[in-house]
Amino acid sequence: MNREQLSDEQLMQAVADGDRERYGELIRRYDRRLMAFLLRMVGDLHRAEDLLQEVLLAIWNGRKRYQKPRPFRGWVYGIAINQCRAEARRKRPVPLGDVAENQSSEASPDAQAETAEHRRIVIAAVGQLSADQREVVVLRLYEQMAYAQIATIVDRPEGTVRSVMFHALARLRRELSPILKISG
């Protein structure tokens, strides 16, 4: 089977058996996504970079505990969430700063500036959510995970995850409506 065709789970099984080359291949698939996720969670580039290294190390160190066919994506995001929680216990969370996102070069400079400002406002508001709410919002909206998968990652019932999301979105709507002129 061609390496391009190997699933994440197959690669992780090879890693669990000690294959360092496959570990590198797997990490190349996930490092950018994990970095973006961690940056959204902690709001500081240097902290996110440090956490990424801790997540990558935890993947390698925990490789024997991986149980195929458990979805690798959920497993690795669970590790990332746990690293964020440990970081929060060590340090007080900081509000999310300016997280760069790609902007369309076709938009006018004024529209680009307004979009960037709205993005900063939303990111700052997400950063003010409780850790539980931020985890669910980032996994659902930015990582586009299903509620069932999020429930597995955060180790809570799906109904609780949906409730957390509902309350987080309600809070964001209350805080952002006057600023962004969103109808509630």
Q: Do 11 and 86 belong to one domain?
A: yes
State both tokens at 170.
């309600």
pLDDT averaged over 10-residue windows placed end to end, the chain, 184 residues: 77 93 94 94 91 95 89 94 88 48 57 74 87 94 93 95 95 85 58
Say which CATH number the domain at 6 has: 1.10.1740.10
pLDDT at 90: 78
pTM for this entry = 0.73
Domain boundary among 94, 114, 133: 94
Q: Check whether residue 109 and residue 89 sit in a common domain.
A: no
DSSP string, 127-176: HTS-HHHHHHHIIIIIS---HHHHHHHHTS-HHHHHHHHHHHHHHHHHHH
14 and 86 belong to one structural domain: yes
| Same domain assignment for residues 109 and 58 | no
Q: What pLDDT, on a 0 to 100 scale, did the predictor assign at position 27?
A: 94
Q: Which residues of 103-119 are buried (b: 16+ CB within 10 A; e: fewer)?
A: eeeeeeeeeeeeeeeee
Which tokens is 90 given? 């060590």
Question: Phi first, then psi: what are they for 145, rounded to 5°?
Answer: -90, 150
Boundary-marking domain end, from 94, 117, 151? 94
CB 182 within 8 A of CB 176: yes
Domain contains 100: no
Say which DSSP state 70 is in. Answer: S
pLDDT confidence of residue 183: 54
In a domain, 99, yes or no: no
